[in-house]
Amino acid sequence: MKKIVLLTIVVFMTSCVEKEDGIKVIKNYDDIYYPKAEVESKIDTEEEFDKVINDLREVASNYVDGFSQPAVVKFNHRIYISEKGKVDAVKEITSVSSQMIKNENVKNIFGNEATNLLVKAADKWLFSPAVKDGNPVKFRVDLIYSIKFGQEGDIVEETSTFKSVARSKISENDVYYVVVEQQPTPIGGLQAIQEKIKYPAKAKNEGIEGRVFVKAYINERGEVDEVTLLKGIHNECDSVAMAAIKQTKFTPGMQRGEPVKVQVSIPIVFKLQ
């Protein structure tokens, strides 16, 4: 029987950056490190979170010191933490180039530049070990941090969060069709998705608008197993779009009269009135 090959989930990676006997940037440890949502961890506490932000703020400030123009530094990375609470590795989890400030007078720092700054800061971090079933375990967490500096090096804007990404429901043996006789459709139409979307205030204030493209993996019951971002416009808009689609129930795709798993691309429009 001919199988439809799964679409590879693309991760925009930085080139390999290593420190001898230290932290390294890797391709994938997701099957080895538990997502934060599945463990007991103190990484969200004020003490541990503030340590991370203060250190990143310091390395970013030192890096832009002497710049003759405003600058924005963006970190969008997955951090892998050992059973002892030390950072084992980091990787950039998505390209943020499309979210950069499109202004030739502003220096954008992301990708390899931001990754090297993160590695420098993370080498000093020691977290409380995460626990699962009473035992210390390896775990991972996604860090999203943006800091904008004015022309004089003063901080004019700063946003930060830790996110927990659960394990994928998709296994390597799952087959999601790309083309079927009857495509899945959202119950209630596209309006059912749109009703779940609230325009993020920050994006609205910044005048952000455009289309977010999300790939949804829909099972035989019409449930969304997983969503991935194909093209984004802003962190908050992207998150809202993905969450809305994840919460939507679909009529299942059909092939030869049988419900099947299907992958579809869905555009979500953000337009200011």
d(CA 239, CA 270): 12
Residue type, 207: G
Confidence grade of residue 14 (pLDDT, cut at 50, 70, 90): very low
Per-residue pLDDT tens digits for 40-94? 988 878 788 889 999 999 999 999 998 989 999 999 898 999 999 999 999 887 6
Is 17 part of any domain? no
Examine the domain organization and report whether 63 and 95 are in the same domain: yes
Examine the domain organization and report whether 29 and 157 are in the same domain: yes
Per-residue pLDDT tens digits for 173-215? 677 888 889 999 999 998 899 899 999 888 888 889 999 999 8
The residue among 188, 160, 140 whose CA lies nearest residue 57 is 160
The range of the structural domain enclosing residue 215 comes to 185-270
| Total domains in the fold of the chain | 2
Q: Is the pTM of this model over 0.75?
A: no
Asked if residue 158 has pLDDT above 70, the reply is yes
Is 234 part of any domain? yes
